[in-house]
Amino acid sequence: MAASAPMPHGTGFPAEGRCGYYVEKKKRFCRMVVAAGKRFCGEHAGAAEEENARKRILCPLDPKHTVYEDQLAKHLKKCNSREKPKPDFFIQDINAGLKDETEIPEKLVPISFLSEEQMENLIKKLRKASEGLNSTLKDQIMSHPALHDALNDPKNGDSATKHLKQQVDGKHRKKNSVFERLQIDIQHLCLNKIPLLSKEKLPVVGIGKHLCGVATDLALRCLVETYAASCEERNEEPLAKRVKNDKTEKEINTLAKEGNEKNIPEKWTPVAGIVIALCCHHRCDWRHYVGKEYFRALGLGAVEFHYFQRMSSWATCGMQKTSLEASNISTKRKDKQNDGSEEHDDGGYRITDDSTESLPGFLNVEEKKKIGHLCKLLIDQGRINYLQQKGFNPALQYYTDPLVSLENVLLTALPNHSSSPETTA
């Protein structure tokens, strides 16, 4: 809309010191501050006659805004969209894992393209690979006293209560505490180059609430390879711990002779523990997956992993029998264009009425859910195996009620030499 066009009835006037350009799309005046003696902000000045002499062009870094052509060089130096210098703890793809192009097929068809025979073969492989795995996890639903008041606050809505039951965070910023937030993709995070950690040689506890799919694998590799392995290679441990160990060597021997082994100081470890709420297995990726060796040992590879991670969504999709499925269960798949699923907030897939034909008709709803859970369990077992190989004692358990979240499985891990009580699967 031109700046000289008449203002719509009832729109009033722009606020004092603000741009006089009426933004038709937003049904209000522009709220940008204008220079002294000017009627329009720099963004809209080109529409006014007094500014016609200066040409505005799209910013090459971000075409969502414009800049005066004669000030482009100056603008590029301070534009918010310019590439920022990378911090020392940014190392490209350090936690991504090895990329083996020969192992990953160029194109894998959607599940809806598979024949009934192919689906049955996949399910047979899944069930064989899952033999012996304990699918009954232990309930470890706990609540910290610090959350008592918050959980009982009458002002809480359902959403607030739901999240409070799954975490204890956002409470760290206290006056006397050290708190630092890093904005970086886990894939590129090198923990041992964070100044606070590299200076103090601090042990790390990795905590993640619903690390979606591949993010769990990236986080595990970040902790147990990038940080722990690097610290162990340099034989590093905190100064205070070294002094304590030196001074108490005789005491340790005395305690051992007296049968008080439980009081012996535990060996320092770079990663003291891992707690990750798992979710969205359908967003996993073979390249980044930490359990590839486990899959290979079972005779499985990238192809099986691809379909298992897609089928894992059946565990949390909230599928319900429909009249279409009940009356036409033997109908062949008609829609070959996609998997017939849409994402929802719990990280799984909700199957819609017009997509039930894209799922195998020889399975009922409960069987599909069981298969979905088996897929999730097998993928998580690969992570368990990975952590065991890295010297940890890992476990899977339920940390919240399924009514709070369908993604209610928690992965925990302690170093094998830790004196803390062991967690059982």
| Cα(221)–Cα(113) distance, integer angstroms | 34
Angle (CA) 258-244-194 rounded to 5° is: 135
Q: Which residue shows structure tokens 């609540």? A: 143
Q: What value does the CA radius of gyration of the chain take, rounded to a whole number of Å?
A: 29
| Cα(13)–Cα(62) distance, integer angstroms | 31
Of 34, 28, 1, residue with least CA distance to 12:
28
Q: Which residue shows structure tokens 């008080």? A: 260
Residue 265: CB atoms within 10 A of its CB come to: 13
Pairing of strands 392-398, 138-139: parallel
CA dihedral of residues 286, 302, 365, 118 (deg, nearest 10): 160
Amino acid symbol at 350: R
Q: What is the pLDDT of residue 176?
A: 56
Consecutive 10-residue runs of the chain (425 residues): their mean pLDDT?
A: 43 81 85 87 70 77 88 90 88 88 75 91 96 84 72 72 62 61 91 85 86 94 85 56 45 50 57 94 94 96 94 76 37 38 37 40 84 96 97 93 86 78 41
Q: What is the pLDDT of residue 262?
A: 46
User: What are the CA-CA distances from residue 380 to residues 23, 45, 217, 289 (Å)?
Assistant: 52, 58, 10, 10
Q: What is the pLDDT of residue 173?
A: 57
- DSSP lists the bridge partners of residue 206 as 274
365-389 helix and 214-221 helix, angle to the nearest 10 degrees: 10
CA neighbours closer than 13 Å in the CB half-sphere of residue 206: 30
Q: What is the pLDDT of residue 148?
A: 72
Q: What is the pLDDT of residue 339?
A: 39
Instruction: Kindly report the pTM of this predicted structure.
Output: 0.67
Q: What is the pLDDT of residue 13?
A: 78
- Quick check: 206 and 191 in contact, CB under 8 A? no
| Cα(242)–Cα(346) distance, integer angstroms | 45
Provide the residue ranges of all domains of the chain, joining segments of one domain with +.
Answer: 22-77, 85-152+184-234+268-318+362-417
Q: What is the pLDDT of residue 418?
A: 54
